[in-house]
């Protein structure tokens, strides 16, 4: 991979980690069960995307 591609992957990982963290924090703060479930689902989606992107580096 080129250095530019590696920078892009690093940025993408950073964004996904941020989204994952924010979704998890939100799910912990919500009192409505359906919204909490939605935020939890989004957390898991971002965790999977993070793992897939990270897998490109191996």
Q: pLDDT for 22-42, tens place per residue?
A: 999 999 999 999 999 999 999
Q: What is residue 54's three-state secondary structure?
A: helix
Nearest to 48 by CA among 10, 15, 20: 20
Average pLDDT over residues 6-14: 93
What are the Cα distances from residue 15, in Å, to 4, 11, 12, 30, 53?
Answer: 17, 6, 5, 22, 11
The percentage of residues in the chain with a pLDDT greater than 70, rounded to a whole number, is 100
- pTM for this predicted structure: 0.84
Count Cβ atoms below 10 Å from residue 49 Cβ, excluding itself.
Answer: 16
Q: What is the pLDDT of residues 14-26, one digit of tens each?
A: 999 999 999 999 9
- Give the Cα separation of 38 and 27 in Å (integer): 8
């Amino acid at each position: 991979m080129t250095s530019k591609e590696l920078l892009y992957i690093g940025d993408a990982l950073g964004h996904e980690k941020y989204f994952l963290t924010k979704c998890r924090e939100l799910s912990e703060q919500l009192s409505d069960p359906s919204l909490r479930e939605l935020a939890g689902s989004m957390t898991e989606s971002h965790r999977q995307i993070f793992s897939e992107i990270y897998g490109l580096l191996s």
